[in-house]
Amino acid sequence: MAGRRETGLAAVAGLVAGVVTIGVGAAVSLLTGPSSDPLVAVGSAFVDATPAWLKEFATTNFGTNDKLVLALGEVVVLLALAALAGVLAARRWAWGAVLVVLLGAVSALAATARPDAGTLAGVPSVVGTIAGLWTLRFLIRRIPDASASQREAAQGRRGFLQASLVAGAAGALALVIGRTFGATARKAEQARGGLVIPKASTPAAPVPAGVDVGVDGVDPWLTPADEFYRIDTALTVPSVDPSTWRLRIHGMVENEVTLTWDELIASDLVEAYVTLACVSNPVGGDLISNQKWLGLPIKGLLEKAGPTGDADMVLSRSVDGFTAGTPLAALMDGRDALLAIAMDGEPLPFEHGFPVRMVVPGLYGYVSATKWVEDLTVTRFADAQAYWTQRGWSAEGPVKTQSRIEVPRRDTTVTAGPVVVAGTSWAQHRGVRGVQVRVDDGAWNDATLADDGGIDSWRQWTWTWDAEPGDHELYVRAFDPAGPQTGAVQGEVPDGATGYDTVRVKVS
């Protein structure tokens, strides 16, 4: 860049690039969650790092405006740094670029360090920074050179200001869009942070210590909430503020019923361990997890509504339009079919349906586990179709009895002699009665079952194999009260995969 650019214009270029950065960052955060918004992330990190005395000073002097003062302060500091970056960039591009990248890195780090950060939390900062750098480069290049004639300089200045105006307006628009649409998400996030989960009126039966077989490589019996499998059609995770949440129960009922959040948490809540499984889980797959849920039994609500005539299905709908069709009988027969509000003693994570979702033991998620649920229509299978049923999956989806070998891992080599084979089986709401393991074409051998955590949860098992050298195949099957699971191989469509999980190992 030959010659010195006008310092004032360079500062303007920096300011505009700053606005574009935070605007684009805010807009992108609509996809990645409110706490990933660069301004929010940096502000929150600042609040966390603020010493107690300064926090007190802020609240005593600014009262409830302390957040506003913080936000203003943050914007002022940021814009000053942005102007500085512009001035530096006009002298030497690399200096300005380094400052912009540093600011972007701080923001990305702040966003990924939030306790509720998703895997993509740094993305808005990175995308915003790239947009900002590009804007800065574009504008700096348009600043008229000091060597230009007066006429050229005046023309150049006009062109620069026009370009700045357009870029600045675009950045501001992105910011307004990000902020306006992000407001609901921020509200829901605040609400979730402030919730106190009530105690269960009916706590779950205590789980025996031996539900875990204690073999390295076997998934924990209780899936950590942040490792719970996630399946849904939501491009962006819905943000629902519990204070405005309502559930409407209508259709083939005597009385239409609505339920608010306050009514829900004031009700007698039930706690239950339930293993949730996806119909798309292939044999041996991991689209299955076990957790402790707290919620209101759906049965009582339906009794209040009073299903009429030959109603046999409840079509549940989420705020984003997903629907599931659950057999009315499964909701009324006394199993722990819940409107769940908590998982592992905490409010539901947003991805798992905050503030309220359904959990029904014994049924695949696609026919029962509606997240962000807001509407229950009592109807008939003959009259209504749910989301996945319209797309070729079965109307009813009872979970199939299945087993998985987790140790040894497939295609590994083990040493001849005693080898521990271990894994998990499930037959939700029927219960696993036994598990057997077979080597190659040999006879079935009884595995040892881990302690029982209830018929709605999966069950671990182990078997010690006296392994002989060579290539071998291990097979597993579980028994429920009706007998052994089927070995017939069937794919996931239309109602869940069947067949024996098979693990090939080399014994040396």
Ligand X SMILES: Nc1nc2c(c(=O)[nH]1)N[C@H]1C(S)=C(S)[C@@H](COP(=O)(O)O)O[C@H]1N2
- Which listed residue (10, 89, 174, 278) binds Mo ion by CB under 5 A? 278
How does 83-115 read in b/e, with b if 16+ C-beta sit within 10 Å? bbbbbbbbeebeebbebbeebbeebbebbbebe
Of the two residues 129 and 289, which places its CB atom closer to ligand X in the complex?
A: 289
Q: How far is the CB of 376 from ligand X (least distance, A)?
A: 13
The entry of ligand X, Mo ion, none near residue 318 (CB within 5 to 8 angstroms by kind) is ligand X
Provide the minimum distance between the beta carbon of 350 and ligand X in the complex, in angstroms, as a whole number. Answer: 11
Q: Binds 232, which of Mo ion, ligand X, none (CB < 5 to 8 A, cut-off by type)?
A: ligand X
Cβ pair 331, 338 in contact under 8 A:
no
Q: Which is nearer to ligand X, 149 or 233 (CB)?
A: 233
Residue nearer to Mo ion on the CB measure, 365 or 453 = 365
Q: If DSSP codes are grouped into helix, strand and coil, which group holds residue 434? A: strand
Q: Is residue 330 a contact residue for ligand X (CB under 6 A)? A: no
Residue 419 vs 427, nearer CB to ligand X: 427
283 neighbors 498 (Cβ within 8 angstroms): yes
Question: Is residue 273 within 8 Å of 292, Cβ to Cβ?
Answer: yes
- For 331, residues 6+ apart whose C-beta sits below 8 A from its C-beta are 298, 299, 302, 314, 337, 360
* Angle between helix 38-49 and helix 123-140 axes, rounded to 10 deg: 120
Rounded Cα–Cα distance for residues 326 and 395 (Å):
9
Minimal distance, residue 277 CB to Mo ion, in Å = 8
CB of 316 to ligand X, least distance (A): 8
| Amino acid (one-letter) located at 73 | G
When the beta carbons of 33 and 178 are compared against ligand X, the nearer one is: 33
Partner whose footprint covers residue 379, from ligand X, Mo ion, none (CB < 5 to 8 Å by kind): none
Give min distance, CB of 492 to ligand X, in A.
11
| DSSP per position, 30-73 | HHH-GGGSHHHHHHHHHHHHS-HHHHHHHHHHHGGGHHHHHHHH
Task: Report the partner that residue 36 touches, choosing among ligand X, Mo ion, none (CB closer than 5 to 8 A by kind).
Answer: none
Taking CB under 6 A as the criterion, the residue among 221, 261, 273, 322 binding ligand X is 322
Q: Which of 276, 313, 414, 476 binds ligand X (CB under 6 A)?
A: 276
Closest CA to 336 of 387, 280, 419, 275: 275
Stretch that binds ligand X, among 99-107, 243-251, 307-315, 316-324 (CB under 6 A): 316-324
As a whole number of angstroms, the distance between CA 297 and CA 269 comes to 7
Start-end of H helices in 50-140: 52-62, 66-91, 93-112, 123-140
Smallest gap from residue 440 Cβ to ligand X (A): 34
Residue from 272, 296, 369, 407 touching ligand X (CB under 6 A): that is 369
Distance CA 239, CA 319 (A): 9
In angstroms, what is the minimal distance from the CB of 388 to Mo ion? 8
d(C-alpha 133, C-alpha 16), whole Å = 11
CA distance 271 to 132: 50
Q: Which of residues 362-421 bind Mo ion (CB under 5 A)?
A: 365-366
Binding mask 207-246 for ligand X (x = CB under 6 A): ---------------------xxxxxxx------------
Q: Which two tokens stand for residue 464?
A: 């010690």
Task: Tell me which of Mo ion, ligand X, none is bound by residue 472, counting a contact when its beta carbon lies within the kind-specific cut-off of 5 to 8 angstroms.
Answer: none
Measured from the CB of residue 364, what is the shortest distance to Mo ion in angstroms?
Answer: 6
Q: Which of 114, 179, 192, 371 binds ligand X (CB under 6 A)?
A: 371
**Residue among 210, 209, 207, 213 at smallest CA distance from 462:** 213
Q: Binder to ligand X among 365, 423, 496, 499 (CB under 6 A)?
A: 365
Candidate residues 160, 372, 463, 479; the one interacting with ligand X per rule CB under 6 A: 372
CB atoms within 10 A of CB 82: 27
**Which residue's CB comes closest to ligand X?**
365
Size of the site for ligand X (CB under 6 A): 19
Of the residues 5, 192, 352, 459, which one makes contact with ligand X according to CB under 6 A: 352
Hey, is 112 helix, strand or coil?
Answer: helix
Q: Which of residues 195-234 bind Mo ion (CB under 5 A)?
A: 231
Please give the Cα distance from 20 to 100 (Å, whole number): 12
Which residues form the interface with ligand X (CB under 6 A)?
Answer: 228-234, 276, 278, 318, 320, 322, 352, 365-366, 369-372
Which residues form the interface with Mo ion (CB under 5 A)?
Answer: 231, 278, 365-366
